[in-house]
A and B are shown apart, each in its own frame.
Chain A
């Protein structure tokens, strides 16, 4: 039988002043750990949610992103006739798109930041059906009008409905704000692809990517087989959700690695905090430990008891760390998307799974910090410790 856990709970409570150091260290480390992971997760979720399983993205073969891709207008016409593409009343659901960068001042600092301009086909909302106009209206083809993602409208200066902004060689009126469900599109500005290409003196015969709405998710293979086997084309076909998932990898790896490094450094400090707390617990309670040993509790029972105590402390620390970062959930921040060199707004995403990971991380730190003191407790010379004052 093990030493009753009530002994550990009450001992921790009785020694809360020395316990607080370990609790604070572990709470801080878990907080940073979860914040970093939620940042990476939020970034990834933002990009991944930009893609749809019903859409396919067609880029030049070998291009690693839309920025390095180019699809000629002749190719777009061939693509429109390919099998597996859904068709609407006005024809195939295909949008050939141009991706450009425009410096627009940030509302927060007044300094310019790169905004992604996406030249799209007028039927884009039928292809990306999850995107809704939440204010104003859709731009009219052939007019210098743009619609703005909801994050872009609150991040950059002048991107409000009714306002006119300078883009390239022309002036454009903001006619609507769209909600892309928290995806990367929410950080973009969309306009007529033909006009935007002209404003930036780019050839109108070249798109950077083509996005098509599939007749069904299963139709991707049929489309892919058709396009990649066509000798007139030199394209890659990717399910849109996979494309954006891949785009997020570099940044999420960077955030996770950096975050992991910071958390690891902090964890070392937290483990020393736990070690210190537990060693002092053992030192202060030498007589109690010896008494238990004299009564017949074995060395294993003492090790288990002190390990449980360390786990208890780390659990409290982990819990506090989790609670401390919860308000970050949903908080929007922005960073450079290295794939497009544009500013991307995204939200911290704290999931139950992340909280569980945080608690497991805390318990691991507690166990590492508690084990050596627990072993020392079990090895105390009973006869000597019994007479300690």
Chain B
């Protein structure tokens, strides 16, 4: 169940409590997120929408351990990440977060296989085990036969599928998608969303996704709107006062 009122059960996979994020630009303080609460269970697929500058990406960065909040806490699978050192946070990201970016962010000089293998280099898996995992991940996204291609030899949709394979290959606790279809045409965007949806439904992945596209947002179990630093519910699955089932 996804809740934004801070009343979620204590064993939710992701718990956000009283999250504030303030930036200082020149002499001015800009509050991007204000006292934000969020509970996400395992297997939930939540979308975030909102106008530019509303704090969507900031929230995603905080959830992914790429940025630290001004106040408040984020707990993932019982680990509070807001108190972690930079080094710990780096290790935590490797283990728990799968990132999917708008611009795919594949390493251009590495093949699809090598790109997908990157997160596994941080594990203790042997070379043959890594190969097996990479092949499986590329099979899931339907690109097993293109594993030796470089990003420049792939279409945008294919590149994003490789990026998804990279995000899931180490079996992270949750996936963070920042505008995953923002750079794709409608057909490719639909294919990517179908794939992400399949990851949630068939593989039980937990997905948090930022998007500008209402069509894409509809694929989420619940879409939350960020406005002036506050989270507002507007889910399509019968949102109740405090959450959605």
Contacts and interface: CB of A to CB of B under 8 A. Distances in A.
Interface of A: 1, 3-4, 6-7, 10-11, 13-14, 287-288, 290-299, 382-383, 386-387, 389
Given A7-B109, A296-B91, 14 more contacts: A4-B110, A4-B118, A4-B121, A7-B107, A11-B109, A292-B107, A295-B118, A296-B90, A296-B119, A296-B122, A297-B94, A299-B86, A382-B66, A383-B66
B183 to A, nearest CB: 11
Contacts of A383: 57, 61, 66-67
Interface in B83-131: 86-87, 90-91, 93-95, 97, 99, 101, 103, 105, 107-110, 114, 118-119, 121-122
B101 A291 contact: yes
A298 B122 CA distance: 10
Contacts of A287: 103, 105
B67 A293 contact: no
17 contacts: A3-B121, A4-B114, A4-B121, A11-B109, A288-B108, A291-B99, A291-B107, A292-B118, A295-B93, A295-B118, A296-B93, A296-B95, A296-B119, A297-B90, A299-B86, A382-B66, A386-B101
Nearest to A298: B90
Contact of A294 (B86, B91, B93, B114): B93
A299 B97 CA distance: 18
Interface string B57-84: 1000100101100000000000000000
A389 B105 CA distance: 10
B30 to A, nearest CB: 15
Chain B interface main SS type: helix
Given A1-B122, A4-B121, A299-B86, A294 B107 contact: no
Given A383-B61, A383-B66, A295 B99 contact: yes
Interface of B: 57, 61, 64, 66-67, 86-87, 90-91, 93-95, 97, 99, 101, 103, 105, 107-110, 114, 118-119, 121-122, 166
Contacts of A382: 66
Nearest to A292: B118
A382 B66 CA distance: 7
A297 B101 CA distance: 17
Nearest to B91: A296
A214 B166 CA distance: 78
A67 B94 CA distance: 76
Which of B57, B109, B121, B166 has its CB near the most chain A CB atoms (within 10 A)?
A: B109
A386 B97 CA distance: 15
Contacts of B61: 383
A152 to B, nearest CB: 59
Contacts of B114: 4, 6
A326 B134 CA distance: 47
Nearest to B119: A295
Given A1-B121, A287-B103, A292-B118, A386 B87 contact: no
B164 to A, nearest CB: 14
A294 B99 contact: yes
A295 B169 CA distance: 11
Contacts of B105: 287-288, 290-291, 294, 386
Contact of B87 (A10, A291, A298, A389): A298
